[in-house]
Amino acid sequence: MIITHAELQVNPAKEEEFLAEIRTLIAASKQEEGNVDYSLKRDVENPNHFTMIEMWKDMDAVQSHNNSEHFKAFGAKAQAFLAGPLAVRMFEGQELKLS
């Protein structure tokens, strides 16, 4: 499983616009083949800091997502919302069976 954490520092004046655009991205991404989870979290100590947590079946699913029209459309608009550079961390994870 491929896990991506994308850290976004959003301009407070652009938050509503950001949230409207990210809703579209999340809804479309969740429909993609190979998507396990796609969710947005807000930092409780810094309300302008968001983390997008993506989980994908494999790297092929990630590449397909990165080439999707909805991902490209969001990427083309993202700089208008951000107050700092986008930080992305990607790693391979293994689900643990703890029971």
CATH number at 6 reads 3.30.70.100
pTM: 0.89
Instruction: Find the helix packing angle between 15-30 and 69-78, rounded to 10°.
Output: 160
The pLDDT assigned to 96 comes to 84
Cα gap 13→6, rounded to integer Å: 20
pLDDT in tens, 68-82: 999 999 999 999 999
Partners of 25 in beta bridges: none
User: Is residue 28 included in any domain, yes or no?
Assistant: yes
User: Is residue 53 included in any domain, yes or no?
Assistant: yes
Work out how many domains the chain is built from and give that number. Answer: 1
> 53 pLDDT band (50/70/90 cuts)?
very high
Stretch 14-19: mean pLDDT: 97
Q: Which residues contact 54 (CB under 8 A, 6 or more apart)?
A: 3, 4, 5, 6, 29, 35, 37, 38, 62, 65
Cα gap 50→7, rounded to integer Å: 6
Cα gap 75→53, rounded to integer Å: 16
